[in-house]
Amino acid sequence: MKNKGIFFQTIGTAKNNRRHLHGFSFIEVMVVIIILGLLSSIVGVYLFDSAEKAKADATKTQIKGLETALDLYRLHNSRYPSTEQGLKALLTKPEVGVLPKNWNGPYLRGKNLPEDGWGSPYRYLSGNGNNYEIISLGADGIDGGTDLDADINSKDL
């Protein structure tokens, strides 16, 4: 019978030891949460910057596409649309200013003019029909700026 008592005491002690081995302490869990939070904030900032740079790159690509359409417009009409006619002259035949005699558009696909990467319309300026300028005001939507807020100009591409 003594042996039987020792056996049950051993099982009881093993059960108590197992209770202390299960789970993590509150501090261990908090350390893991803090580490995960720091990692996600670092990755989040990196991804946000990449998304904003992608918008700037998409805007530059769209400006180059508009330049191609404007060059085709000039090939047909011997001049670029005036500032008054704007980029809409690439979609519908202008009814103001010097009317193009050989308009053969639309020169862009779709029914609407493209917007820059931040959802704003492009500025179009043309002085004498021999040159033009397409401008995106950047992420902030106002003149000037630096980094992602800087204006993107067709003359700088």
Q: Is 85 within a domain?
A: yes
Total number of residues shown for the chain: 157
- State the amino acid at position 47 in one-letter form: L
Q: Is 3 within a domain?
A: no
pLDDT digits (tens, 9 = 90+) for 109-136: 999 999 999 999 999 999 888 999 999 9
Percent of the chain with pLDDT over 90: 54
Q: What is the CA radius of gyration of the chain?
A: 33
Q: Is 130 within a domain?
A: yes
Q: Is 10 within a domain?
A: no
**Longest CA span, the chain:** 116
Q: Give me the pLDDT at residue 21, please.
A: 58
Q: Is 33 within a domain?
A: no
Residue 126, domain CATH? 3.30.700.10
pTM of the model: 0.71
Judged against a pLDDT cut of 90, whether residue 42 lies above it is answered with: no
Number of structural domains (the chain) is 1
Q: What is the residue range of 81's domain?
A: 66-157
Structural element, H or E, at residue 79: none
